[in-house]
Structure formats: structure tokens, C-alpha cells
Amino acid sequence: MNVSAVAAVLVVASYLLGSVPTGLLVARARGIDIRGVGSGNIGATNVARSLGKKLGLVVLVLDALKGATPVLLAISLGFDQPAEEIADRWVEYSASLAPWVIPAVGVAAIAGHCFPPWLRFRGGKGVATSWGVFLAVDPMMAAIATVIFAALYAAFRLASIASLSGALAMPTLLWLGGRDDPVVALGIVCAAIIAAKHSSNIGRLLRREEHKV
């Protein structure tokens, strides 16, 4: 099988899985349109703030699974291995393409969550889905980023500060961990998406108007 075709299928499937609006569906099961309450965001933070921390945790786990599942599938197909170790899996194999498959799959899942076509491309902020991606890609670095998130959240009770700090730390953690350039690039792209999606939060932080959770 052509590796390019396999990679394309993985990326598209990852985007579609990421685009499932779990926060919206969980809230709708309670008879609430989460887009009309709190910040209007469909992510775990707004669900927790508006409907309680238990439901927020449910959405957090589901959103993380949207990121972890397609990446783990790509890993199971051997895309985390050196070219010479998996060349016999495919009729055509590109050593230059393969290292970018897992990062592309990860970005696709996050893009699906943040820009779902079913909601006019207005989705969540990508934190939980990114967390799932990095738990699959590099559990150790994801654990360190989680500690950074937890420490800052405990200190400030502001999910936006904790989320932005964890996301922005990830590229450096991956680089310090000796990961290849495509994986470091994944960290940079994810941090950029999360920062862009938090632009309104950054404005409120600067005005000291951000709400605690």
C-alpha cells in the first residue's frame, strides 16, 4: 500500500474524530446548549464552570481521547519507527514522509476539535485534545507539562494561565527531551493554535478580568 495514501487516511480520520463536539453533546444530554452559557465555548473548562466539575472531567477525558486515539493508531502502524524497520510494511515507503505522519495526525485531531465543520469551525481551544496527543507521543514530557499546569492552576485558579503555560512549555520540553524535529514542530504548532484560541482569555488576563474555575 502507498504510504502517502495511508498517511492521508490517518490525517483525515484524525480530523473527523477530533471534530466530534463532545462538550456540546455531553451538555445537550442534560438539555443544555453549552454555546449559550458561560463563555460559550464547547470545551471542558466551560462545561466544568457551567455544569459542574464532574461533567467537565468527562469532557476532558473524551477530548483527550480524541487526540490520543489516532496518534496511537499511527504508532501501532509503525510510523514511530525508523524507516529501515518498517519499510517492509508498505509497497512504497518514503523515509522523508514517515517522520511527519504522527505530527500531522496529532495536528489534525487538534484542528478538528478547534475548527469543527459541523459548528461553522467554532470549536474548543484544543488544550485537552493536545494533552491526549502528547500523552501518546511522549508520556514523560506530557506528564511534566501536566505538573506545570497543575501547579499554576493551584496557584492562580485560572485555567487559561495554566493551559497556556503548559502548552507553551511543551516545545521546549520536547526539544530538551531530544525528540526529532517533526515532534518538536508538533509542539510548536499546537502551542500556536492554543495561544491563538486563547486570545480573548489573554485580553481578559491583561485587564485582570479573567474568571476563575
Question: pLDDT digits over 3-48, tens only?
Answer: 678 888 999 999 999 999 999 999 999 999 999 998 899 999 999 9
Q: Give Cα separations from 35 to 40, 43, 63, 78, 155 (angstroms).
A: 4, 10, 17, 39, 28
**Concatenated DSSP letters of 19-72:** TS-HHHHHHHHTT--GGGSTT---SHHHHHHHH-HHHHHHHHHHHHHHHHHHHH
Alpha carbon dihedral 7, 11, 17, 19, in 10-degree steps, equals -170
The residue among 98, 26, 20 whose CA lies nearest residue 58 is: 26
| pLDDT digits 0-9 by tens, 155-184 | 999 999 999 999 999 999 999 999 999 999
Q: 10 Å Cβ neighbour count for 83?
A: 13
Instruction: Answer for the pair 23, 59: CB distance below 8 angstroms, yes or no.
Output: yes
pTM metric for this prediction = 0.92
